[in-house]
Structure 1
Amino acid sequence: MMDSSRLPRSLLVLGGTSEIALATARRLIARRTRTVWLAGRPSSALEEAAAHLRRLGAEVHTVAFDALDPESHEAALGKVFAEGTVDMVLLAFGITGHQAYDERDPSSAVRVVRTNYAGAVSAGLVCAAALQGQGHGSLVVLSSVAGERARRSDFLYGSSKAGLDAFAQGLGDALHGTGAHVMVVRPGFVRTRRTAGLDAPFATTPEEVATAVELGLRRRSETVWVPGTLRLVMSALRHLPRPLFRRLPL
């Protein structure tokens, strides 16, 4: 049960090998989280992540979960909630795809959309219903600034995140007053192993995202930008006339 700090004692991570998710789990374990479920496809990476968090003092369980198999979500996630109260769900799975390749291969493009949007809608609804049934708990959704306005260089990924963001915002409105809470986190470019060798303005790290998540939970925020300056930057880009927007090297 969360106390006045609004930080969770129990955490369910959907996307249990995500670097951002694991940085967040580490930070919350250092505060007061004692039980963690890492949900993802069974793999050595998932087991290694669980072992790492156990060394930090948490009781950690792994859960078989596949974003691309929505028919299994209710049963797989229902087992977690049946074991006890879940104070926070972190929806952290997603794939960036490869824009140039995916444009030429619609099946690959659809996989990006099914994972980032359809899979998240399915898992998000299952968890939201469980949190509402408890009468408390937070669903934290990792969105992206890429969803604010689709760019030529990654409009497939951006459109999937735009859908996810709109879904999560609407879900938050639907749950308002039930005790359950939705917080949407919009990071910019995050430096991870997957993005090694790449960079972008306003780049951030998994640890900085984790810090922002903690602060957002304490404030019971509904939307969190990482870094915060991106709120103004993306507002300007979102309202830029299309002819001017097309001239930008984005």
Structure 2
Amino acid sequence: MSILLLGATSDIGTEIVKLIGEGEQVVLAARDPEKIPELPGTTHTLAFEATDLDSHRALVEEAERLAGPIDTAIVAFGILGDQERAETDEHHAAEIALVDYVAQISMLTVLADHMSSGRIVAFSSIAGWRPRRANYVYGSTKAGLDAFCQGLADRLHGTDLELYIARPGFVIGSMTEGMSPAVMSVRPEQVARAVVERFGRPGTFWIPPGLLVLATIMNLVPRPIWRHMPR
């Protein structure tokens, strides 16, 4: 059995592999394979362009050819994008949507169709719970992805294939470098540990768990106030 990490330069994805990859066959897929860090396990690397949707199924098949049947698939690729640029540049707005939503549901569909057992890890975000003026393009992709994952989880319920949908808060990492941390911020290693500790109980979970309280309050904020909320 093997582990497939899609987005092998992801802070969170690599931290998960550090926790579960020792002694395992691990396939690391990234746009720039030369930037993939050294990770535990017997590793194989593949070039992966998330926006090339036609390549998704072939990549999963190649991963299995290299390392054997996939037991754990971690879908960790994505971009934050530039909100200010996306407000006037329709191509950039579409790029964010393509990477963070369309490519995600494409790969998740391939994995759910290809794998008969094991587990798939997907990443939603507090940003998608109630998208804000300050990051509504990225937030909208996470809202859509979260909705897709809820339906996919229902479809897989009762099968031998488990879907884990992590909803972390603001993650302090390379993607958010230079940004001021938000309330209940977490680091990649905290998210990774929460994901691994969740194994055996598929479904949706907040990281940290107390974020659910904040999310509930967010829904009560009147829109005239909400539209001025920072990222």
**TM-score (normalizing by structure 2):** 0.93
2:199 aligned with 1:227, yes or no?
no
SS in 1 for 2:21: helix
Decide which of 9, 23, 29 is 1:17's aligned counterpart. Answer: 9
Q: Structure 2: 5+ residue runs without aligned partners?
A: none
Partner residue in 1 for 2:34: 44
SS in 2 for 1:185: strand
Shift of the 74–29 alpha-carbon distance from structure 1 to 2, 3 Å rule, reads closer
For residue 81 of structure 1, report the CA deviation from its aligned partner. Answer: 3.0
Partner residue in 2 for 1:200: 182
2:61 aligned with 1:78, yes or no?
yes
Partner residue in 1 for 2:24: 34
Residue identity matched to 2:80: T
For residue 195 of structure 1, report the CA deviation from its aligned partner. Answer: 2.2
For residue 169 of structure 1, report the CA deviation from its aligned partner. Answer: 1.3
SS in 2 for 1:12: strand
Residue identity matched to 2:15: A
Describe how 1:152-231 pairs up with structure 2 within 5 A. Answer: 152-198=133-179, 199-218=181-200, 220-231=201-212
Decide which of 113, 134, 140 is 2:121's aligned counterpart. Answer: 140
Q: Cα RMSD over matched residues? A: 1.6
Distance 2:132 2:28 in 1: 32
Contact residue 81 and residue 130 of structure 1 kept, 8 A: no
Contact residue 133 and residue 229 of structure 2 kept, 8 A: no
For residue 249 of structure 1, report the CA deviation from its aligned partner. Answer: 4.0
For residue 181 of structure 1, report the CA deviation from its aligned partner. Answer: 0.9
Residue identity matched to 1:25: V
Decide which of 95, 113, 117 is 1:129's aligned counterpart. Answer: 113
Structure 1 runs of 4+ with >2 Å offset:
193-198, 238-250
Q: Structure 1: 5+ residue runs without aligned partners?
A: 2-9
Shift of the 239–131 alpha-carbon distance from structure 1 to 2, 3 Å rule, reads farther
Distance 1:245 1:188 in 2: 18
Q: Percent identity?
A: 38
For residue 108 of structure 1, report the CA deviation from its aligned partner. Answer: 0.4
Contact residue 33 and residue 46 of structure 2 kept, 8 A: no
The C-alpha deviation readout for 1:65-98, integer Å capped at 9, x for no partner, is 1110001111111222345221111000110101
Distance 1:176 1:130 in 2: 16
Aligned length: 229
The C-alpha deviation readout for 1:112-150, integer Å capped at 9, x for no partner, is 000000001111111111123xxx111100111101011
Bigger CA drift: 35-44 or 106-115?
A: 35-44
Distance 1:19 1:130 in 2: 26
The C-alpha deviation readout for 1:137-195, integer Å capped at 9, x for no partner, is 11100111101011000000000111111111111111112211111001111111332
Shift of the 249–45 alpha-carbon distance from structure 1 to 2, 3 Å rule, reads closer
Residue identity matched to 1:60: T
SS in 2 for 1:127: helix
Partner residue in 2 for 1:96: 80
Distance 1:140 1:194 in 2: 19
